[in-house]
Chains A and B, each alone.
Chain A
Amino acid sequence: MSFLDGLLRLRRGPWEMLATILIALGVVMLMQPFLLWAYTWSFLVTLIGTVMFIIVSHFPE
């Protein structure tokens, strides 16, 4: 609940967590050997996570 609350209030912690999850998910999608579509979309997911990380690191604590 506090995680969603933090997202709505534009707090750094939860947003950084979300960006970290996206980056990690993108890296996993890039390197997994099972689904070609996951590999195809991996770059976009990592890029969104990375850009989000740069932006939300300027949010208040």
Chain B
Amino acid sequence: MANPIDIAAQATPPTIARKVRGLSDRAIAWIFVAPTIFLLLAINIFPLIWTIRLSFTNYAANKPNAEVKWVGLRNYERILTDEDIWSHMTTTAHFLIWTIFFQVLIGFTLAWLINRKFKGNDLLTTLIVLPMMLSPAVVGNFWTFLYQPQIGVVNYVVEFFTGIPAASFSMLGPGGLAPWSIVIVDTWMWTPFVMLICLAGLRSIPDYIYEAAEVDRASKWRQFWTITVPMVLPFLMLAVLFRGIENFKMFDMVNLLTGGGPGSETLLTSIDLKREAFEKWRTGYSSAYAIILFVTVFGLASIYVKALNKVKER
């Protein structure tokens, strides 16, 4: 029976076969890789270089025929001395710090509880992971209904536990609750992700380490602090960095929930950037804004990759 490779070789037209035979392995490898490199350059690298160039100009995308002036570092200077943008950065920081805090606390606790063997363990894990699988647009929309002061469930739950009348406050309205409302929704949605990463870390700890600790009569509390926590820490750090980068760029869910309001209480930098670029049409200025956010995320991503390599080395 003929070899399939020989059959394929015979099926190749002689003119093409002659050409391919003349190419080195390196050249063939380049032929395969070239489309990917081309797409990467066209979709990622070129827009990035173009944005850097635009960030030094006063270009406005809605006035394509207007004269474009070179303004040097003026856009960066204006952004980095603007107290409004500074306040949006602190709003983003509030969102970032509290979401990570709650997600790590609840995620690790859930992982620690689920790591024990009990009936219905797998079903419970699947149910907990469900919110993470939903679209942020869907989550944003249905939490808007849950937060409604008249028909929403959240206000009635608060009334049930605290006695505060349901119609007397609005989770998404003025009164300082809106920044906490977006923290609650993001925590609800992304805690399962942190839980899964922690669970992977907990399951990677070999049983014999705990057995050795038992032989040494180490208490459960001591085992937790000297074995569990140090061995899960790289995984936890990975989860923190990943959520940090994602939440720094958060747009869709918060835009649907509050649109940055009331006032600018939940105006995250990504929402502000979108307004500058596509509502005020200050393209040069918003390019500089985007580059500042990009460098920050890129820096965090570098640390993330380093942490990932450390986890791989374990």
B299 and A53 within 8 A (CB): yes
Instruction: Count chain B residues whose beta carbon lies closer than 8 angstroms to a beta carbon of A.
Output: 20
Which of A23, A26, A31, A50 contacts B89 (CB under 8 A)? A31
B90 and A49 within 8 A (CB): no
* Per-residue A-contact encoding for B60-102, CB less than 8 Å = 1, 0 else: 0000000000000000100011010011011011001000000
Q: A16-B306, A24-B303, A43-B295 are in contact. Are A31 and B92 (CB under 8 A)?
A: yes
* Per-residue A-contact encoding for B297-313, CB less than 8 Å = 1, 0 else: 01110110010000000
B296 within 8 A of A: yes
**Closest residue of B by beta carbon distance from A50:** B299
Chain A interface size, as a band, is 20 to 34
Residues facing A in B266-314 (CB within 8 A) are: 292, 295-296, 298-300, 302-303, 306
B interface secondary structure, majority:
helix
**Chain B residues near A49 (CB, 8 Å)?**
299
Residues facing B in A9-23 (CB within 8 A) are: 16, 19-20, 23
**Chain A residues near B87 (CB, 8 Å)?**
33
Which of B83, B89, B299 contacts A46 (CB under 8 A)? B299
CB distance from B79 to the nearest CB of A (A): 8
B90 and A23 within 8 A (CB): no
CB distance from B100 to the nearest CB of A (A): 12
CB distance from A54 to the nearest CB of B (A): 7
A54 and B83 within 8 A (CB): no
CB distance from B108 to the nearest CB of A (A): 22
A47–B76 Cα distance when bound, in Å, is 13
CB distance from B240 to the nearest CB of A (A): 12
Q: A36-B83, A43-B295 are in contact. Are A54 and B302 (CB under 8 A)?
A: yes
Interface residues of B (CB under 8 A from A): 76, 80-81, 83, 86-87, 89-90, 92-93, 96, 292, 295-296, 298-300, 302-303, 306
Interface residues of A (CB under 8 A from B): 16, 19-20, 23-24, 26-27, 30-33, 36, 39-43, 46-47, 49-50, 53-54
